[in-house]
Amino acid sequence: MKKKNIIRFFSTLAITASLLAASALFVSADAENQDVVVTMPLTSEPTSGFDPAYGWGAGEHVHEPLIQSTLVRTTKDLEIENDLATEYSCSDDGLTWTVTIRDDVKFTDGEPLTASDVAFTYNTCRDASSVNDFTMLKEAVAIDDTTVEFHMNEPYSIWPYTMAIVGIVPEHAYDENYGQNPIGSGRYILKQWDRGQQVIFEANSDYYGETPKIQKLTVLFMEEDAALAAAMAGQVDVAHTAAMYSEQTIDGYSLLAVETVDNRGFNLPTTEPEEIDGITYGNALTSDVNVRRAINLAIDREEMIENVLNGYGTAAYSVCDKMPWYNEEAVTEYDLDAAKALMDEAGWVEGSDGIREKDGEKAELTLMFANGDSVRQALAEDTANQLRELGISVKTESVGWDTAYDRAQSDLLVWGWGAHTPMELYNLYHTNGDTGLAEYSPYANETVDQYMDVALQCSDLEESYELWKKAQWDGTTGITQEGDIPWIWLCNIDHLYFVRDGLQVADQKLHPHGHGWSIVNNIDEWEWE
């Protein structure tokens, strides 16, 4: 039985089992009353509640916080526009950001939202957040009711991207239980939360912006097979799904594919192996830049998209494809012959079994993927098959995240990244002070570091984009094919949803990593025909 048929067979069994229980779990949406029911993965439920200080609106699944308002927000074109803010500016030295906010905003308990609430929110995030980095913030200070200043420890040109995800909380009503019963000023109010099952939002009638068209949003947390079963039973309006289910036909529903920067790729340790504090850093084979370049050329991304993602994805060449700071020099064409020539140049000669050898050593690698992630597993296996054609033997291995981070310092791991901020680039490629290497895989390039450091020191956000591009490739060095190529990027995975006929889901901006809350970023603009 072929691989795709096996997947379909077991998927059908799972769907059938889920359908048997579906009718007892769900309540149908009411189009007449502008209600919508949406499914999300179990991992989308915020474990620490709906508190921005602990990741709501940010963290791994970056999205607009719905319940709270933000100072600014990103547009469909990923530009920055005002929300609570009416204007903002940065000092010439990059150390002070001044934001003026609206004077007509109230929290849902009737209290006015002032600059003191903004300062309190950011200082709380600085002190308490374990999800996001606020070390660049020295202090937020309310100058008056409508003016707040952010005093920075160091210049941080991309601060607007932080302001776009931090929801403002009320100083007068904030305590350790805030995340369970949040008060905000956003488009929606949290009405009910049944942990592990669902959360219900209702439109905020006192919202300062345009009145939301959807009056009630119910989010159900479930696995993909259960979400598909719920759609097949007609119990939900939008059901998240995966490529393996994309060929399913459901009466009354159509498949929506949303483009993303939710990429999958794997690291290539660039240093020779050495042990530091009990952890092995580096890999003898991938420490050779020609081997890394050969691997990149030997990956047929279009084949992966067609056979692993059923066509629902785009080729990835960097962690920031399609972003304003993306350098198109990252694009490479599949060229197995050129890849083989690079391996020959590096001294790796094909053996009798087809696996290359050098100085008595076989060209062998281990490529890990996260336990239970069928897409990453399929990508790992496809990569192994493709690199076998290059003469590299790749062993795939399922691992847990408790060991994956340390092991990725010497072995390859299929990762998922992608965010609406250049910090994603910084976090993967910039060296840190502990080891002198990048955090997630051994790599260091002083010039790349300098470009990113200067980019952060800019007082103008758009001016910084060119420096982020140069960090990727400046014509001489960088992280692309002709440079150090310390990561291989495979594909950006389309986020797929079954949508009930008659529901108009407003245009989506490019989704970041995390198949969850991004779909409802603009829920207030959805409408029933």
Chain centroid to CA 459: how far? 26
pLDDT at site 499: 98
What's the CA gap between 38 and 42, in Å, rounded? 13
Task: Please answer whether residues 161 and 87 qualify as being in contact, where contact means their C-beta atoms are separated by less than 8 angstroms.
Answer: no
Within 13 A of 46's CA, how many CA atoms are on the CB side? 26
pTM (predicted TM-score): 0.89
The model's pLDDT over 361-391, given as tens digits with 9 standing for 90+, comes to: 999 999 999 998 989 999 999 999 999 999 9
User: Is residue 500 classed as helix, strand or coil in its secondary structure?
Assistant: strand
Identify the DSSP state of 478: B
The model's pLDDT over 240-282, given as tens digits with 9 standing for 90+, comes to: 999 989 999 999 999 999 999 999 999 999 999 999 999 999 9
What's the CA gap between 290 and 269, in Å, rounded? 13
pLDDT at site 25: 46
> From the CB of residue 436, how many other CB atoms can be counted at a distance below 10 Å?
10
The model's pLDDT over 389-398, given as tens digits with 9 standing for 90+, comes to: 999 999 999 9
- The two counts, helices (H) then strands (E), for the chain are 12, 26
Rounded-to-10 torsion of CA 350, 296, 380, 514: 170
What's the CA gap between 494 and 471, in Å, rounded? 27
pLDDT at site 325: 96
- From residue 381, alpha-carbon distances to 362, 394, 407, 500 in Å are 19, 9, 19, 35
Residue 178: burial class (beta carbons within 10 Å; 0-12, 13-18, 19+):
buried
Element (H, E) at 528: strand 527-528
What's the CA gap between 105 and 186, in Å, rounded? 10
Q: Which residue in 83, 182, 210 sits closest to 524, CA to CA?
A: 210
Q: Are strands 279-281 and 274-276 parallel, antiparallel or unpaired?
A: antiparallel
pLDDT at site 434: 81
pLDDT at site 31: 58
Retrieve residue 415's tokens.
Answer: 């990762």
What's the CA gap between 432 and 452, in Å, rounded? 13
pLDDT at site 33: 65
- Per-residue pLDDT tens digits of the chain, which is 529 residues long: 444 443 444 444 444 444 444 444 444 556 566 899 999 999 899 988 999 999 898 765 578 899 999 999 998 888 899 999 999 999 999 999 999 999 999 999 999 999 999 999 999 999 997 677 899 999 999 999 999 999 999 999 999 999 999 999 999 999 999 999 999 999 999 999 999 999 999 999 999 999 999 999 999 999 999 999 999 999 999 999 999 899 999 999 999 999 999 999 999 999 999 999 999 999 999 999 999 999 999 999 999 999 999 999 999 999 999 999 999 999 999 999 999 999 999 999 999 999 999 999 999 999 999 998 989 999 999 999 999 999 999 999 999 999 999 999 999 999 999 999 999 999 999 998 788 999 999 999 999 999 999 999 998 888 999 999 999 999 999 999 999 999 999 999 999 999 999 999 989 999 999 888 999 999 999 999 8
pLDDT at site 508: 92
Element (H, E) at 217: strand 216-221
Dmax over CA atoms of the chain, in Å, equals 77
- Sign of CA pseudo-dihedral 511, 516, 517, 522: positive
What's the CA gap between 307 and 167, in Å, rounded? 40
- From residue 484, alpha-carbon distances to 268, 361, 365, 444 in Å are 10, 23, 19, 9
Retrieve residue 347's tokens.
Answer: 């001294």
What's the CA gap between 324 and 472, in Å, rounded? 13
- From residue 366, alpha-carbon distances to 266, 289, 409 in Å are 11, 18, 12
Residue 426: burial class (beta carbons within 10 Å; 0-12, 13-18, 19+):
buried
Radius of gyration of the chain measured on its C-alpha atoms:
24
Range 188-197 contact pairs with CB under 8 angstroms and sequence separation of 24 or more:
188/66, 188/67, 188/212, 188/217, 188/523, 188/524, 189/67, 189/108, 190/50, 190/67, 193/50, 195/45, 196/42, 196/45, 196/221, 197/25, 197/221
What's the CA gap between 279 and 293, in Å, rounded? 26
Q: Over the range 396-422, which residues count as b (16 or more CB within 10 Å of their CB) and which as e?
A: bbebeeeebeebbbbbbbbbbbbbbbb
Task: Please answer whether residues 244 and 62 qualify as being in contact, where contact means their C-beta atoms are separated by less than 8 angstroms.
Answer: no
Q: Which residue in 267, 484, 496 sits closest to 369, CA to CA?
A: 267
The model's pLDDT over 61-70, given as tens digits with 9 standing for 90+, comes to: 578 899 999 9
**Which amino acid is residue 268, in one-letter code?**
L
Residue 527: burial class (beta carbons within 10 Å; 0-12, 13-18, 19+):
middle
Residue that has been written with the tokens 């008595």 in this structure: 360
Q: Which residue in 317, 244, 173 sits closest to 8, CA to CA?
A: 244
Task: Please answer whether residues 468 and 489 qualify as being in contact, where contact means their C-beta atoms are separated by less than 8 angstroms.
Answer: no
pLDDT at site 78: 84
